[in-house]
Structure 1
Amino acid sequence: MQKYFMILLSVILFSCKKDYTLNTNIQPVAKLTAPLDNKYVKLQPATSATLSFEWDQARAEDGSLVIYEVAFDKENGDFSNPVAKYASDGGGVQNKLTLSHKDLNSIANKAGIPSLATGKLKWTVLAAKGYNIQKATEAKTIEVERPNGFAEIPTDVFLTGDATEAGADLSKALKLKSTAPGVYEIYTSLKNGKYHFTNRNTGTPVTYSIAGTAVKEGGEDEQTASTKVYRLRLDFNNAAASVTEVTTIGLWFAPLNKFLFEISYAGNGTWSIKNQLITFKQESWGRDERYKFRLAVKDSDGNAGEEWFGSSNADNSRPTATTPLSFWELKPIAGNDQWGYCYKFASEADNKNCDINVYFTTDKNYTHEIIVK
């Protein structure tokens, strides 16, 4: 009986071993079908534009699943050390790869094609069955034109240095506000000293600086004038930068068609005035209380200008205790129309002293508050 059992066990083990023998034989991809060879692509990484790469299926000898990767290399590369590889759509099982222009811009950067330049990328397909990887029998190229921007846009941007409000301690660096994909800004003061930007506030970050109207990797900026308040804006999509001095913020009182007072900078992106008397204007139909804000600014060449901030609504009712916080949010508005897009003071502010705080801070939507004393 024992002898019979041993013979039966041997047959079972032999059968299992035979059934699970892996056949890794495959025929490589024979033809790359899209895009056409030498296709020209003007990259627009700030958009949702994509490019599709397609090829004929590779054939596994046992008819099972084949996994695909698309390899990219320099124009004269041989794929022995490709600059990038991407699994195909569907987790590597489809004979198609959809890449964003942002990814293609990154690949072009790795291949040594500089910003604002045109160059070629070579691509092919690697088909894999187990440990057997077969390169396609052909390769094709695409010609790409890169925009003036960064291939790798930072997720976060920080401001640090002796000239900043937080000083040179990287862990205390000031975080910029993301206002659009790849665009960051901060309202802050700079004193005499040096400053630069980083992609994080720990370790050894990538650093950036402003050179005229451009943002560049590396370097450092210096504030040589007395302490001033600025809006610093960096657009990594276009490698563009702007430095705008904010000289004053004034409260515009529409009923009198004039500014009632200026609000002083208090630090950390906040302007504040304390115990300011607010008096509505008496009209035949009642008391008028409409207001908004104007920023007096100067560009990097010293040219003066103005920017208006008001409500998202063309007209408003007086706020109450149940008014949503969005009522006080600051929205850029066009022109200096006397009445349009004004806020209204709450009824209890009439003939009372008020604290007014204007927040261009990076931790929340730009907004303001009126505190009745």
Structure 2
Amino acid sequence: MNYTDVEITAVNNLFEPLDNKAVKLVSSSTASLFFEWETALVQDGGAPLYEVVFDKVGGDFSKPLYKLTSNNRGFANNAYITHKVLNTVAALAGINPGESGDVQWTVISSRGVNRVQSTTVRKLNITSLEGFAEIPNTVYVSGEGSEGGASLANALPFKQTAPGEFEIYTKLEAGKKYVFVDRRDGNARMFYTDDEVKLKEATEDPSMQTERTGIYRIEMDFNVATVKFTEVKTLGLWFSPENKVLFDLPYQGKGIWSGTGVVNFRQESWGKDERYKFQLQTISDGKTAVEQLGAKNPTDSRPNASSDPSYYHIKLLPAVTQWDDKWKFADAVDGKSTTIQVILQGDKEYTHIVSVN
């Protein structure tokens, strides 16, 4: 049997965005720009794959700045490209944060080992986000208003959740200064916000303070220079069979909540139901909300003494539901006084501990 490459045509027409379109990027994680082009033809009638490629103006795309597959895992003749990706393209093209500049783009169609680049090229004018050119690898919170106090050596670490993105659960004291730093020494870079929205770098003490003492989830994105504060009012044990919070877990400090109560499994016709997760009451931008923490790793079994620690790992859930992303209590918990700790600290996996008293 002889293998013959399948011929494929180049994409002849690029539909969206129009040539020389100007786009001002915004920091929303859902913001995107729609790209669309004419379909390519394949000799055997099969479906082609597509890549959108970017380059500096005048480049030949042999070493593109950035490339990504189209929608539907590369089979669609369109793509929604997020503003965050376009901001990365702008940075690679040498466009400074907050400034405008041109890049060019085209589409490569492929089938098997054959790849054909479109001869049509379009320009895109991008006004980039005011992100940081040099993104720190680590971030801490320090100062007398923080839980670690004024000594940099005791600064509490943020957890890196994605490239350039960090978060921390911590208490801030009203009227006392705090600051974000990238290391625990005197050479640390300092970051601050004066509106709890935009993240900035400081050259001297920024004297940042919070108006209200509270426990906060602080989310920072250096890619787009934003910061978000969410106050955590309560954290409780959500018992799925009862569809409610059984008891609250008061905050103990430094990202740890702990509470004690009795959990009675619910008797059903098929057995006892012991499913649970955690529920938060939060405030952000003056709006109250309900959020849930659940299993990072899907599970449908009860734990035992030999269960891997990853069984208890935690993630913030995208939606509030009764049953999704739950854990199951061990047999020994049923009807017993039980202490539960939720540990949301930046230098380890988010997790929780269940102890029968």
Does residue 175 in structure 1 map to residue 175 in structure 2? no
Q: 1:247 deviation in Å? A: 0.3
**How far does residue 163 in structure 1 lie from its aligned partner after superposition?**
0.4
Q: Please state whether the residue corresponding to 1:327 is helix, strand or coil.
A: helix
Q: Decide whether the 8 Å contact of 2:290 with 2:320 is kept in 1.
A: no
SS in structure 2 at match of 1:194: coil
Q: 2:189 maps to what in 1?
A: 206
**Gap runs ≥5 in structure 1:** 1-38, 56-95, 122-141
How much does 1:321 deviate? 1.8
Instruction: Determine if contact 1:158/1:199 at 8 Å carries over to the other structure.
Output: yes
Deviations 1:319-368 (A, max 9, x none): 11222222111123343332232211000111222220101111122111
Distance in 1, matches of 2:298 and 2:324, equals 5
Amino acid across the alignment from 1:293 = F
Measure how far apart 1:308 and its partner are: 1.0
Distance of 2:161 and 2:256 partners within structure 1: 18
Alignment partner of 1:271 is 2:236: no
Q: Is the alpha carbon distance of 1:288 and 1:214 closer, same or farther for their aligned partners in structure 2, counting shifts above 3 Å? A: same
1:299-314 pair list within 5 angstroms: 299-301=284-286, 303-312=287-296
- Looking at structure 2, the residues matched to 199 and 172 of structure 1 have their Cα atoms a distance apart, in angstroms, of 13
Give the counterpart letter for 1:206 in structure 2: R
**2: CA distance, partners of 1:157 / 1:349:** 38
CA contact (8 A) 1:54 1:97 kept: no
Q: For 1:339-350, what aligned pairs fall within 5 Å after superposition?
A: 339-350=323-334
Quote how far apart the aligned CAs of 1:145 are.
4.0
AA aligned opposite 1:203: G
Contact 1:53 1:98 in 2 (8 A): no
CA shift for structure 1 position 120: 8.0
For the residues of structure 2 that align with 1:187 and 1:236, how far apart are their CA atoms?
A: 18
- Tell me which moved more, 212-221 or 356-365: 212-221
% identical aligned pairs: 36
Q: Cα distance 1:104–1:353, how it changes in 2: closer, same or farther (>3 A)?
A: same
- How do 1:243-262 residues align onto structure 2 when only pairs under 5 Å count? 243-262=229-248
The corresponding residue for 1:215 is 199
Question: Which amino acid in structure 2 is aligned with residue 249 of structure 1?
Answer: L
**For the Cα contact (< 8 Å) 1:52–1:97, is it kept in 2?**
no
* Structure 2 counterpart of 1:138: none
Structure 1 residue 153 displacement after superposition: 1.0
Deviations 1:293-340 (A, max 9, x none): 111100032x10011111246661111122222211112334333223
Is residue 2:172 matched to residue 1:190?
Answer: yes
Q: TM-score, normalised on structure 1?
A: 0.63
In structure 2, relative to structure 1, the CA distance for the partners of 1:294 and 1:143 (3 Å cut) is closer
Gaps of 5+ in 2: 1-19, 30-51, 67-86, 104-123
Structure with greater Cα Rg: 1
- In structure 2, the residue matched to 1:297 is 282
1:145–1:338 distance in 2 versus 1, CA, 3 Å? closer
TM-score using structure 2 length? 0.66
Correspondence for 1:286 among 248, 271, 289: 271
Distance 1:103 1:336, change over 3 A: closer
Runs of 4 or more off by more than 6 Å in structure 1? Answer: 39-44, 52-55
Q: How far is 1:191 from its partner?
A: 0.8
1:369 aligns to 2:353 (yes or no)? yes
CA RMSD of aligned residues (A): 3.5
Separation in structure 2 between the aligned mates of residue 98 and residue 171 of structure 1, nearest angstrom: 43
Distance 2:311 2:231 in 1: 27
> What is the aligned length?
272
